[in-house]
Chains A and B, each alone.
Chain A
Amino acid sequence: MTSLLLRRILGSRTSQTFSLANPSSNPNALTRDFSSLSNPIRATLFPGDGIGPEIADSVKQVFKEAEVPIEWEEHYVGDQIDPRTQSFLTWESLESIRRNRVGLKGPMATPIGKGHRSLNLTLRKELNLYANVRPCYSLPGYKTRYDDVNLITIRENTEGEYSGLEHQVVKGVVESLKIITRQASLRVAEYAFHYAKTHGRERVSAIHKANIMQKTDGLFLKCCREVAEKYPEIKYEEVVIDNCCMMLVKNPALFDVLVMPNLYGDIISDLCAGLIGGLGLTPSCNIGEGGIALAEAVHGSAPDIAGKNLANPTALILSAVTMLRHLELNDKADRIQNAILNTIAEGKYRTADLGGSSTTSDFTKAICDHL
């Protein structure tokens, strides 16, 4: 059994490097030992708050059942501000992700108050998480108005409209700066095309409003075009954001991979989550410099149902699947993803938010049975 696993894992491993987010590194160097149950990959796990710990348990259970060679290193948000990070996240937690290079994060409620950075902002800045990747595909069996959604949104996550640089000019007049840099735009465009190539996607669409914001969005597009030339086998197109939204609600099958600056990415990625059923079902993964991947569930911590065994772990498990794909453990990723889709499609076990009445543990067990 173990030798069969070893053979399958070796077979799925190509001579390509593990660092998908760093296409500039030597493609022939294997930067990570092959993984097996006896030599697992360490991954940081932040269960989070509210329903976080329960759904994190679901992930651990499913991974164990699927014999995924991952060893979790759990970290929790503290209740004291760590002066080294200026946040409730400790330095040790951040070092853990930097060392392991992969992590999974549950929903975190940022405590109200001043004098500290929000948890998400801390993670983003400290780990240089520059791209937010959300695969959106219609879940067979969970019917929404759209059956044929199959796209990925890749959002630049460090600059753009969210630079936080605002000031009052005179009383009653406020300005906000939107910053676009060549470096950040190239970086996210590189990731988008590399993602398209490694995941067998055919087309990358850059979303913009360059007819109005000629210099800023214009620079973003210029960078996308430069990268597009290096990937002649992948089609490249540019779509204006308002057209894009209209096309998405009329015919989302038109889109494949979308790459966008920060604000448009925020809007479009949530729009697409709405097309497939909401944030409770949407996986998400943040890519950082040096090949770091921090997958996360983007829904809230739902304190009202915390601890009641009612939460839907789908988003977190699917996010963990994106983490596996980043690690090129595609067999395991496919197995788990199919198990989830089959469970939802079957309809026998569904949590309350999907219109059913199963508990978290029943739903999780059904996924394990489907493996």
Chain B
Amino acid sequence: MATPIGKGHRSLNLTLRKELNLYANVRPCYSLPGYKTRYDDVNLITIRENTEGEYSGLEHQVVKGVVESLKIITRQASLRVAEYAFHYAKTHGRERVSAIHKANIMQKTDGLFLKCCREVAEKYPDIKYEEVVIDNCCMMLVKNPALFDVLVMPNLYGDIISDLCAGLIGGLGLTPSCNIGEGGIALAEAVHGSAPDIAGKNLANPTALLLSAVTMLRHLKLNDKADRIQNAILSTIAEGKYRTADLGGSSLTTDFTKSICDNL
């Protein structure tokens, strides 16, 4: 959705987030076989706390030339996203959850986040839990992303890491995303832009939106259908015969889509 420029209204994404209490942003990132990037073995999920942290929007000028911004971490929000992360790990058969932080410097805020993650980790003894400092995490991700499984993070780190991981597998045009809200709401979304320049020309790549729809199916526990569709997409891209322009091919949206249907 392109947010219209202007004042007096909230951005569309912000409205959805606040009204539906979308507290976790989930992005599964896995290397697409057949679409070669520098990384072949990416298979991780980033789970980002989406309501507080550095993005609370509470800034003020102290005196001229000095500005402050508040980062808020609450026990409630941290527990909530940690619970979701471990629950996700369990229901999707993942083995390890890594909490990303900078608690050595931000001892109270990130410290509270970690404390909540540890509490939840104790309830899931079959899932390994580790804590990784954000700068180490970035370095490890660019050197060896296979080290990671499920990552859970406060808002800012989540923003950075989830886009970093999207870059590892080929960009936002291929990355699915799902927002989880209170009461089990799931709003899957494509995180790329609206690309007005190619709108209506049958050139767009539907992969991100299709894969996001797949995450919605998994949330609904329609795993058979989800697997079928995901495999169809991966096979189509792997085959290489039908690829949209952004993947280096010349197929139309409709051809690409038909090819996925054929591969079902």
**Interfacial residues, chain A to chain B (CB-CB below 8 A):** 144-146, 161-162, 164, 166-168, 171-183, 209, 212-216, 218-219, 241-243, 245-250, 263, 266-271, 273-275, 278-279
Contact = CB atoms under 8 A, between A and B. Distances in A.
A190 B37 CA distance: 37
A176 B71 contact: yes
Contacts of A168: 108
Contacts, number: 153
A215 B135 contact: no
B141 to A, nearest CB: 7
A274 B70 contact: no
Nearest to A179: B68
Contact of A161 (B106, B107, B164, B166): B106
Contact of A275 (B39, B57, B65, B142): B142
Nearest to B155: A212
Nearest to A171: B75
A215 B159 contact: no
A177 B70 contact: yes
B206 interface: no
Given A183-B65, A271-B142, A242 B159 contact: yes
B57 A175 contact: no
Contacts of B160: 241-242, 245, 267
A36 to B, nearest CB: 41
B167 A278 contact: no
B15 interface: no
A181 B59 CA distance: 13
A270 B67 contact: no
B143 A181 contact: no
Nearest to A271: B138
B168 to A, nearest CB: 6
Nearest to A146: B38
A273 B139 CA distance: 7
Of A162, A181, A274, the most chain B CB neighbours within 10 A belong to: A274
Contacts of A218: 67
A166 B109 contact: yes
B102 interface: yes
B181 interface: no
A333 B53 CA distance: 44
A78 to B, nearest CB: 24
Given A177-B68, A216-B67, A271-B142, A266 B163 contact: no
B167 A248 contact: yes
The number of chain B residues touching the other chain, given as a range, is: 35 or more
Contact of A174 (B57, B105, B108): B108
A124 to B, nearest CB: 13
Interface string B58-97: 0111001111111111111000000000000000000000
Contacts of B167: 245-250
Contacts of A166: 106-109
A100 to B, nearest CB: 29
A263 B102 contact: yes
Of A146, A216, A269, the most chain B CB neighbours within 10 A belong to: A216
B260 to A, nearest CB: 25
A176 B142 contact: no
A275 B70 CA distance: 32
Interface of B: 37-39, 54-55, 57, 59-61, 64-76, 102, 105-109, 111-112, 134-136, 138-143, 156, 159-164, 166-168, 171-172
A145 B38 contact: yes
Contacts of B105: 161-162, 164
A28 B163 CA distance: 47
B135 A266 contact: yes
A216 B68 contact: yes
Nearest to B112: A174
A199 B37 CA distance: 32
Nearest to B134: A267
6 contacts: A173-B73, A173-B75, A175-B72, A212-B54, A212-B57, A218-B67
B71 A175 contact: yes
A191 B7 CA distance: 37
B112 to A, nearest CB: 5
B148 to A, nearest CB: 13
Nearest to B38: A145
A270 B109 contact: no
Contact of A213 (B37, B59, B141): B59
Contacts of A271: 135, 138-139, 141-142, 164
A263 B53 CA distance: 14
Which 5 A-B residue pairings sit nearest by Cβ, starting from the closest?
A246-B167, A182-B65, A274-B139, A172-B75, A270-B135
A140 B237 CA distance: 34
Given A164-B105, A270-B139, A271-B142, A245 B163 contact: yes
A213 B54 contact: yes
Contacts of B59: 213-216
A213 to B, nearest CB: 5
Contacts of A274: 138-143
A265 to B, nearest CB: 10
Of A215, A245, A273, the most chain B CB neighbours within 10 A belong to: A245
Of B111, B141, B156, the most chain A CB neighbours within 10 A belong to: B156
Given A246-B164, A249-B142, A270-B136, A176 B106 contact: yes
B66 A179 contact: yes
Given A215-B59, A245-B167, A250-B171, A267 B71 contact: no
B163 A243 contact: yes
B71 to A, nearest CB: 4
B136 to A, nearest CB: 7
A144 B139 CA distance: 13
